[in-house]
Structure 1
Amino acid sequence: MGLISLLWGIVALVWMIVAFIPLLGWGNWFVIPFAGIGAIIAAIGLLFTAPGNRGRAKAGLLLNIVVIVVGVLRLGLGGGVI
């Protein structure tokens, strides 16, 4: 689960970078729920993984949360369209 959430977060991060291109900001409407699902997968991974093996799940959770926060800020600045 940790590896899946980490890969999910990397895909969300790449998608978020593409959404920074002017006139592609509408992509944040898709990347925020996508990263939310990745954060849920990471949280499930944290619950069911042994305490010594939670590094990937923690990294995936952090990466997905960063993508969500930046996406929300970007939508707020651009009015949700740009």
Structure 2
Amino acid sequence: MLNVISIILGLLSLVIVIPATIPLLGWANWIALPIIVIGAVIGQMSSSNSGRNLCLVVMVIAAIRLSIGGGVI
């Protein structure tokens, strides 16, 4: 059950992160990052790794976009 919750949070954050790659929408990554972290923590408590891995991949995408835009110092 925790894995399903983690996957849902990962997909929700992916829906936020994909449009945030458009210029001037990078602020949406700051909204998605807390959701991603919560999903990764819930996925870590699960017996399966797929939800956690999805959240980590989305986190890397958001972090790369933020670093390109100068949002991460």
Q: Which bracket does the TM-score occupy, shorter chain normalised?
A: 0.7 to 0.9
User: Identity of counterpart residues, as a percentage?
Assistant: 43
> Could you state the TM-score of these two structures normalised by the residue count of structure 1?
0.79
Q: Which of 1 and 2 has greater Rg? A: 1
Where do 4+ consecutive residues of structure 1 move more than 6 Å?
none
Q: Does 1:11 align with 2:27?
A: no
2:68 maps to amino acid:
L
Shift of 1:18: 1.6
- The equivalent residue for 1:49 is none
- Distance across 1 between alignment mates of 2:10 and 2:46: 14
Letter in 1 for 2:33: I
Q: What is the distance in 1 between the residues matched to 2:27 and 2:39? A: 20
What residue ranges of structure 2 are gaps of 5+ in the alignment?
Answer: none
Query: Is there any run of 5+ residues in structure 1 with no aligned partner, and where?
Result: 47-53
RMSD over equivalenced CA pairs, Å: 1.4
Indicate yes or no: 2:57 matched with 1:66. Answer: yes
The code of the aligned residue for 2:16 comes to: W
Q: Secondary structure at the match of 1:64?
A: helix
TM-score, normalised on structure 2?
0.88
The corresponding residue for 1:33 is 34
Aligned length: 71
Alpha-carbon separation, structure 2, partners of 1:18 and 1:60: 21
* Greater percentage in helix: 1
Cα shift at 1:39: 0.2
